[in-house]
Structure 1
Amino acid sequence: MTPITEMTDRARDVFRIVVESYLETGLPVGSRTLSKISGLSLSPASIRNVMQDLEELGLLAAPHASAGRMPTHSGLRLFVDGMMQSHEPSPEERAAIEGRAGERGPVEEALANTTAVLSGLSACAGLVLVPKREPVLKQFGFVLLSHDKALAVLVGDDGSVENRVVELPPGMGPGALEEAANYMSATLAGLTLAEARARIDRQIAQERAELDATARTLVERGLAVWSEDGDRRPVLIVRGQARLIDNSAAEDLDRVRQLLDELEGKQEIARLLDSAREGDAARIFIGSENKLFALSGSSVIAKPVRAMDGRVVGVVGVIGPTRLNYARVVPMVDFTAATIARLLG
């Protein structure tokens, strides 16, 4: 890709105006339109020559023979990385995002509300990916299913109940099941899963766990299967899909249908968002740059959510057509990520 610094002033001006006009209108820009823009003292013929040069560099494209030019995905990337001037969210936009995040209720509901606000302000679909919140443990139980399987029941202090099937150690009877359940309820109540596993590992290492070998194995397996499954099931919230179907999408319904289909594949989106966890800045995936949304030609802006200690506790972002107002939406995603970080603590 041609660096901005290697372009002439004339080429940079024409390129910038074409991209900004396209992002505002969604329409290709012709040389005659450009020649009428104040500050660009070039004839239509000169502008056509410059646009032809930019097209040969792969930065502009002509969708039809006489329809003017629009930026390619490579051109958008060059503009976003080298020319875009960001616009911080207004006080009203900040207040809207913080207001929904601060509402009382379950954290997942606050996340959904905040994501919906981000969707409305950006005119995109809003996305947030956070780890499944670990319940604080209250009570455990085991129900014998067969000679080698049991149902492990976990009750959280919020009233949530989760069940997992675990393999039983050979020769384990109902008495050992009850012993393991009683021990876990007495020893681990009030802890999260991560804290419970650390305590069990510590007590077993110090030989302070008052359990026989089979019950000890069952305790370890029960905690392991809960923790492993929870790690694999992050919470992905998508809000505002309907905003992707606006007036400008009428001429491109196939692309919109493809995008809505792609949004149904939540595991794929979760993996894409997860790839944005590294680094501090928002990542921008434009059109064919990511395989998931290559067919619909959509853009994704994603920002890691970091806790006070620097840990990544989630990812927030938006998805929409490549014709996004990147200068406005990127700072908005940044602000939402900071707000969610405070919410998650």
Structure 2
Amino acid sequence: MTAEISDLTDRARAIFQLVVEGYLESGQPVGSKTLSQDQALDLSPASIRSVLADLESIGLLAAPHTSAGRMPTETGLRLFVDGMMQVAEPTRAERETIQARLGHSGPIEQALEATSSMLSDLSGAAGMVMVPSREPRLAQISLVPLGQGRALAVLVGEDGGIENRVIEIGDTPANVLEQVSNYITARLAGRTLSEATRAVRAEISAGRSALDKASQDLVERGLAVWTEDATQRPVLIVRGQANLLDESALEDLDRVRSLLDDLENKQSVAELLETARDADSTRIFIGSENRLFALSGSSVIASPYRDREGKVVGVLGVIGPTRLNYARVVPMVDFTARSLGKLIG
């Protein structure tokens, strides 16, 4: 049975809170001698040890082999975060830092990079930003024959961006490739890829297309190359991995190595962040609560960010050891999400 705040006596609740806050501040287990120095408790070390043992027996605290002190378990951290943590707004200095760094970051791509780095700097952990999937609007598509039944599809966006893909074309002659390129450019310029694909299918199904069946198929496949790729490719910016190699990491290198390996798997990290897209507020994942970081025992604090119309366009957050300063980092992530949203068109 999972313990609830209401299950704890006032004495147990006070001691539990001091242990958790002491651990989150120092990263070290908290002992009865340290707790007995807190005048608000007015308890002997023996009385405190008895309460600590009770809290350990119900799974809220644990005693590492190397220390006589106690530290919160993942269950204890969850209880603290949900029922006891006092969250304050970011300090004025933090707010000014966030707004200044975002305000001088230039194009949105640079703002996202700046956001990830800033979250890392302010939290002392690693910062993460999942980039919104923004489809480019077409300016031109060219199909260039490569030989051996393949062609290079070159997409030029209205923003000047250029992307290339290789597609299979069978024995399609060069003049047909040119016809298809002209068709797409003439009719679909100014549309997004998804809009272009819908328009092509509507024209073909209505019998309005002057292309033959083979050319129609080639147009659809040429556009599909990008639309499929855009949905399957997570764009994730991670900065500050070096922050994870702090002094305490030297005592648990296997955990940190596992965490760094997990961060290399951006597809899985993006999937985890996706679960925070529909959240009303900042979400907290502690240790094994999420499968991806179960082995490394890490925590993730994530918040969706919205454009000016209120639509969720991405997720940002931090990842670090479970002893993150949740009370400080949670409002900081939330404020950053709101500040970034004001920059999104």
How far does the alpha carbon of each residue in 1:195-233 deviate from its partner, in whole angstroms, 9 at most, with x for none?
322332343344433323222221111111111101111
2:234 counterpart residue number: 234
Whether 1:122 and 2:123 are equivalent positions in the alignment is yes
**CA 1:89–1:191 in 2, change beyond 3 Å: closer, same or farther?**
same
Taking only the aligned residue pairs, the percentage that are identical comes to: 61
Kindly report which structure 2 residues correspond to 1:142-291, keeping only aligned pairs within 5 A, or say none. Answer: 142-146=143-147, 148-168=149-169, 172-291=172-291
Instruction: Give, in angstroms, the shift of residue 331 of structure 1.
Output: 0.8
TM-score of the pair, normalised by structure 1: 0.93
Question: Are the counterparts in 1 of residues 143 and 154 from structure 2 also a CA contact under 8 Å?
Answer: yes
Structure 2: where are the runs of 5+ without partners?
A: none
TM-score of the pair, normalised by structure 2: 0.93
1:333 counterpart residue number: 333
How far does the alpha carbon of each residue in 1:30-75 deviate from its partner, in whole angstroms, 9 at most, with x for none?
1121111021122212111111110000000000275211101110
Structure 1: where are the runs of 5+ without partners?
A: none
1:35 counterpart residue number: 36
Instruction: Give, in angstroms, the shift of residue 125 of structure 1.
Output: 0.3
2:320 counterpart residue number: 320
Question: Are the counterparts in 2 of residues 135 and 156 from structure 1 also a CA contact under 8 Å?
Answer: yes
The letter of the residue matching 2:299 is S
The letter of the residue matching 2:288 is S
1:80 counterpart residue number: 81
Question: Are the counterparts in 1 of residues 300 and 319 from structure 2 also a CA contact under 8 Å?
Answer: yes
Question: Are the counterparts in 2 of residues 304 and 315 from structure 1 also a CA contact under 8 Å?
Answer: yes
**CA 1:65–1:173 in 2, change beyond 3 Å: closer, same or farther?**
closer
Runs of 4+ in 1 over 6 A off after TM superposition: none
Question: Are the counterparts in 2 of residues 176 and 214 from structure 1 also a CA contact under 8 Å?
Answer: no
Whether 1:138 and 2:139 are equivalent positions in the alignment is yes
The letter of the residue matching 1:98 is Q
The letter of the residue matching 1:28 is P
When structure 1 is superposed on structure 2, of 307-316 and 27-36 the one drifting more is 307-316
**Distance in 2 of aligned mates of 1:147 and 1:292:** 42
Instruction: Give, in angstroms, the shift of residue 258 of structure 1.
Output: 2.6
The letter of the residue matching 2:99 is E
**CA 1:13–1:238 in 2, change beyond 3 Å: closer, same or farther?**
same
When structure 1 is superposed on structure 2, of 82-91 and 145-154 the one drifting more is 145-154
**Distance in 2 of aligned mates of 1:211 and 1:92:** 62
**CA 1:213–1:331 in 2, change beyond 3 Å: closer, same or farther?**
same
Instruction: Give, in angstroms, the shift of residue 307 of structure 1.
Output: 3.1
**Distance in 2 of aligned mates of 1:93 and 1:195:** 42
Instruction: Give, in angstroms, the shift of residue 310 of structure 1.
Output: 4.3
SS at match of 1:81: helix
Q: Number of paired residues?
A: 344
2:92 counterpart residue number: 91
Instruction: Give, in angstroms, the shift of residue 257 of structure 1.
Output: 2.7
Instruction: Give, in angstroms, the shift of residue 90 of structure 1.
Output: 1.8
Whether 1:19 and 2:20 are equivalent positions in the alignment is yes
